[in-house]
Structure 1
Amino acid sequence: MSFLSAEAMTGGYGGADILCGCALAVERGEIAVIVGPNGAGKSTAMKAVFGMLALREGRVTLDGDDITRLKPQERVARGMGFVPQTRNVFTGMTVEENLEMGAYLRDDDPAETMAQVFALFPVLAEKRGQRAGELSGGQRQQVAVGRALMTRPSLLMLDEPTAGVSPKVMDELFDRILEIRATGIAVLMVEQNARQALEIADRGYVLVQGTNRHTDTGAALLADPDVRRSFLGG
């Protein structure tokens, strides 16, 4: 059993099922990337893993424990950190206050973790007293990722972390994600920049209509003619 294992996930938001037997897995120190066309159920799959969508069928396990019925805050306590695509920072709070919010479940001194976040994202150290709403889009994404890291997650979940940022900022964010993986944290992410994401992925999932269409290593998916033709522009 993988460190994170989501099996046969089936469910939706009250109408027709959006996920239809979707399966995902990621090990410690791995990056798993979910790609696919618009409306494929990528973000819905992330929400299901995090407990924001009740499954009609299927189960989710983390480090061998069944967490299918746990609420999102209970999953955070178990080691999940989730960064949504939008509304992922407190714009009226400073950078430092945003990071402190990430440690709200902890009963120890988070100073060491904050220092690690500042080492990973040096610009946040420079702007620690600035309101998050005054930052660029890429810097806000760094704040959002940093706040999730303040929970000391064993699994970091990122929903389209490079949406709306420049190619240069995207490359920088991917570099930081590789550094996070190197610490042993498992990373599960949805990404619209499929080709670039698969280049850094240990494993990839191509979803179509809530179902796994292709599952393989990132390198194998990049080399697959069908994947290249149908999802990567040739």
Structure 2
Amino acid sequence: MSEPFLIGENMTGGYGGADILHGCTIAVERGKIAVIVGPNGAGKSTAMKAVFGMLNIHTGSVRLDGEDITALSPQARVAKGMGFVPQVNNIFTSMTVEENLEMGAFLRNDDIRDTMEQIYDLFPILRDKRRQPAGELSGGQRQQVAVGRALMTQPKLLMLDEPTAGVSPIVMDELFDRIIEVARTGISILMVEQNARQALEIADTGYVLVQGANAYTDTGPALLANPEVRRTFLGG
């Protein structure tokens, strides 16, 4: 069997004190959606940051498209094809929408206009508001700017930390629809999400973390149908 496009394998580590991750493994197939869910404090965002190189793991490895990238900095990982959208402080509020998107292309030296058009096609409201300061937008629109800016790097893997935090259910559904569209273009998606039930509905693979370790790993539909997962993590 071929290796997943991305795999953070047997990761143990944290932020310098006690370990938060304990032998955690997260993988994403090419062009598929993988979702990390679990209770508060389970290490979901920590696992995402470990994959992106934002904290040190002292055991385990991270491989992207067969290449060991464990020792690379986050910026070097972006150059390898990873895009990361943090949960907070993920836009430049004083810059316009278009300037935010241009900032996403900081590593590129080719013509970015086609990519920008693709993002405006994906998020039409951003085209309408492209001259507006991003700080004036609604929460859902800000998230679209943040995702769009990450897509400007032309990533092979897009990582989203709580993309629907603080948005209405209607906006959440719309964001998930757009995420599915991005995956259909061949980009792999790794997402941490508090809205576990809705996230698992669109997930090809789901990871339930508890105390920094894998508790359940299966397809999204299988986890939704698992009575133990439903009872413990999805409210019955």
2:122 is aligned with 1:132: no
Amino acid at match of 1:147: R
SS at the partner of 1:57? strand
Among candidates 11, 21, 36, match of residue 19 of structure 1: 21
Match in the other structure for 1:80: 82
Measured in 1, the distance between the counterparts of 2:154 and 2:74 equals 16
1:209 aligns with 2:211: yes
Is 1:101 the counterpart of 2:103? The answer is yes
Note the C-alpha offset of 1:28: 1.1
Q: Return the alpha-carbon distance in structure 1 between the equivalents of residues 74 and 94 of structure 2.
A: 24
Cα distance per residue 1:143-199 (max 9 Å; x no partner): 000000000000000000000000000000000000001000000000000000000
The superposition leaves residues 104-150 of structure 1 with CA deviations (integer Å, 9 ceiling, x where unpaired) of: 00010100000000000000000000000000000000000000000
CA distance in 2, matches of 1:102, 1:131: 16
Q: Equivalent residue for 2:7?
A: 5
Q: How many aligned positions are there?
A: 234
Where does residue 198 of structure 1 map in the other structure? 200
- Residue from 49, 53, 56 that aligns with 1:54: 56
- Out of 132, 151, 171, the position equivalent to 1:169 is 171
In structure 1, C-alpha distance between the alignment counterparts of 2:30 and 2:130, rounded to whole Å: 30
- 3-state secondary structure, aligned to 2:56: coil
**Structure 2: distance between partners of 1:138 and 1:97:** 18
1:203 partner amino acid: T
d(CA) in 2 for partners of 1:83 and 1:124? 17
Report how far residue 12 of structure 1 moved. 0.9
Q: How does 1:125-164 map to 2 (within 5 A)?
A: 125-164=127-166
Other structure's SS at 1:96 match? helix
User: Runs (4+) of structure 1 moved beyond 2 Å?
Assistant: none
Equivalent position of 1:91 in the other structure: 93
Paired letter, 1:31: I
Partner of 1:68: 70
Query: Partner of 1:231 in structure 2?
Result: 233
- Give distance in 2, aligned partners of 1:10 and 1:34: 16
Gapped runs of 5+ residues in structure 1?
Answer: none
| Corresponding residue of 2:121 | 119
Question: Structure 2 CA distance, aligned partners of 1:30 and 1:45?
Answer: 18
CA deviation after TM superposition for structure 1 residue 56, in Å:
1.0
Aligned with residue 40 of structure 1, among 17, 37, 42: 42
2:8 & 2:50 partners in 1: Cα distance? 9
Query: Counterpart of 2:208 in structure 1: which amino acid?
Result: V
Distance 1:141 1:84 in 2: 10
Percent identity between the two aligned chains: 76
Q: Secondary structure at the match of 1:55?
A: strand
- Aligned-partner Cα distance in 1 for 2:104–2:188: 18
